Amino acid sequence: MMNLRPKSFALCLLLLGTIASAQTSPNLLIILTDDQGYGDLSLYGNPYIETPHLDQLGREGVQFDRFYVNSVCAPTRAALLTGRYPVRAGTHSVTRNREALRPGEVTFGDAFQEAGYRTGYFGKWHNGAQYPNIPTGKGFDEFLGFTAGHINNYFDAVLLRGTKEVKTQGYVTDVLTDEAMAFMDPDSEEPFLCYLNYNAPHNPYQLPDSYYDPLVAEGLSPEAAGHFGMVKNVDENLGRLFAHLEKIGARENTIVVFLTDNGAAGSAGRYYNAGMRGYKTSTHEGGSRVPFFIHWPAANWKPHVVAELAQHVDLYPTLVDFAGIEMPEGPPLDGVSLRSLIEDPDADWPERILFTHNGIDETNRYPGAVRTPRYRLVTQIKGPQAGSQSVNRDETRTPWELYDMKEDPGEKNDIASGNPELVAELSGLYEAWIDDIFAEGLRRWPIAVGHDEHNPVRLHASQAYFEAPVAYAVGGFAHDWLTDWTDESGEIGFEIDVVEAGSYEVEIAFTSPAENAGSVITVEAAGSSASATVPAFAPVDIPLANRDEASNARYRNREWGILGVGALDLPKGIWKITIRAHSIPNGSVMDFKHLELRKIEE
């Protein structure tokens, strides 16, 4: 070595460093966007936006052309985290605590944390709002983001750091990128797992003018301009991420994965959907086929496009396989490692049949779909949100439809009537699969209270059980509140799992106009109760930077008063905590946002 010329010596050191990098544990950066469909990239022909950084990642890495997820947010996220079908993992809808993971589920965060990785989670969670069903209870050392299905404000947003609220500065996608870059900085010898979950381009459509105005000028609707503008901002942030990895010397040995959680929102999909039928919530191809890219420079994979079927439950076993770590003890996985397809463009791969189910409540078996390499079998439920409302509508589903995806990728010609035997075969496989994944049963999981890791705990209106005339103000999604509490027959309750007996202070977030103030309420659970009189706190809405009227109707922020009710003595166990009104002298009790329980330290 001493006789080598300087340039040759430097080249040898570089090669040795590259080999050593490939032989050490890889870092992992997993990027998930929200409501970005397969067609929302210039790589796949979208004429309205340029996504150069995503396009480059796809071209330099391995692209999966037929990668499938659920067609709504929370189920896909549960499958990615656990490697298990969402219903099996306990997640069977997107709100009212049906989005939470089943107690005892194990995530890939747990796997990498146990293997000695630094683990960070940044952005949207949507698989539970209380410990242990939050990132810091599911294998992630650090968390900045939000646990609900959406946030209402994308500028200077209030997010959670761990379990505590913090006010951020700037546009939320930029903030999350900054946080991920800070986490990945080389201040530790341990490899990192960074899971970055952008909430863009999910509505409300809020974004800087520089991304929005040019698209409106091209004639796009406010919704489409908002959607595509947020995609462009995400792509620019990915450029910052990739440049940062290069700067800190981590790009070579970092496995980068990019995918999205479901098909495009309908407003954007109507402009461009890569020729597919259906958008978010649909069980057609456009609702569940998404981009999936994976790139690891140190592995020197040959860039190629994988035509075989793959799905969300495959991510967990694939990551564990490439990292060479042990799978932790836990429930059995449904997914398989995609390693051979990634490493070898000519790998043999057994033919697969994939299933899709859109959760609505604890019992519904439909809507659903079956995907083979050639065919798609579909049954739908008509109605708002493609039928995905929080009531069982199985009796309204359509007959099975069958499409030849090779000859008819746009699903225009239903061939079910001419292929009854194939319909019977595939629908029979679907019914057997549904029986299997529902075998453990489903419920709205009790909310854990009393963990030191999460104190105080908020019980949100979207998680409540309630009796008429009480109703949701908007639609029961993440930041909605309860209203119309006009007589004593109405009540609000939560099912809680008290993990440590003790005394708990109770506070309620509420509004009540002065002319309605004065109702007497009682909060009770497990034989303990506390009462208070509801004072006046005028409802004041906080203006939001929404670009479209639909967002103005659905996403609303309000100032909330805090009412201290007293303390409850709660024994360990599962209980119903209930808020009742014993006197309503002025027509209405209050609008209710959340109930907070704070364990009193002895």
266 confidence band (pLDDT: 50, 70, 90): confident
Residue 2 confidence (pLDDT): 32
270-322 pLDDT tens trace: 999 999 999 999 999 999 999 999 999 999 999 999 999 999 999 999 999 99
- Residues in contact with 231: Cβ distance below 8 Å, sequence separation at least 6, in sequence order: 33, 36, 40, 41, 49, 51, 200, 201
2-50 pLDDT per residue, tens: 333 333 333 333 443 343 334 389 999 999 999 999 999 999 999 999 9
Q: What confidence score (pLDDT) does residue 19 get?
A: 37
Architecture of domain 27-270+299-346: 3-Layer(aba) Sandwich (3.40)
For the chain, the average pLDDT equals: 94
- 142, 120 in Cβ contact below 8 A? yes
The share of the chain scoring above pLDDT 70, in percent, equals 95
Residue 389: what pLDDT? Answer: 60
pLDDT of residue 585: 97
Q: What are the tens digits of pLDDT across the range 93-117? A: 999 999 999 999 999 999 999 999 9
Q: Please, which residues bridge with residue 580 across strands?
A: 491, 522
Mean pLDDT of 57-83: 98
Which percentage of the chain shows pLDDT scores above 90? 90
Return the pLDDT at 6.
Answer: 37
pLDDT of residue 386: 55
Q: Which helix (H) or strand (E) holds 240?
A: helix 222-247
Q: What band does 165 get if pLDDT is binned at 50, 70 and 90?
A: very high
Q: What is the pTM of this model?
A: 0.95
- Look at residue 390 in the predicted model and tell me its pLDDT: 57
Task: Give per-residue pLDDT as tens, 316-344.
Answer: 999 999 999 999 999 999 999 999 999 99
HSE value, Cβ hemisphere, 13 Å, CA-based, for 340: 8
Domain boundaries, the chain: 27-270+299-346, 447-599
- What pLDDT shows up at residue 17? 39
DSSP state of 307: -
Q: What is the pLDDT of residue 20?
A: 36
* Residue that has been written with the tokens 């379990």 in this structure: 163
Split at pLDDT 50, 70, 90, the class of 602 is confident
Task: Give the whole-angstrom CA distance, residue 579 versus residue 491.
Answer: 6
The CATH topology of domain 447-599 is Jelly Rolls (2.60.120)
Whether residue 272 contacts residue 227, with contact meaning beta carbons closer than 8 Å, is answered with: no
Cβ proximity of 396 and 319 under 8 Å? no
Residue 336 confidence (pLDDT): 98
Q: What is the pLDDT of residues 567-592, one digit of tens each?
A: 999 999 999 999 999 999 999 999 99
Determine the pLDDT at residue 22.
41
Output 19 or 541, whichever has higher pLDDT. 541
pLDDT of amino acid 125: 98
Average pLDDT on 242-267 reads: 96
pLDDT tens figures, 489-531:
999 999 999 999 999 999 999 999 999 999 999 999 999 999 9
Rounded Cα–Cα distance for residues 364 and 435 (Å): 11
Q: Would 27-270+299-346 and 447-599 be classified into the same CATH topology? A: no
The confidence score (pLDDT) of residue 578 equals 98
What confidence tier does 385 reach under pLDDT thresholds 50, 70, 90?
low
pLDDT in tens, 393-436: 888 899 999 999 999 999 999 999 999 999 999 999 999 999 99
Helix ranges restricted to H, 44-152 = 52-60, 73-82, 108-114
Specify the length of the chain in residues: 602
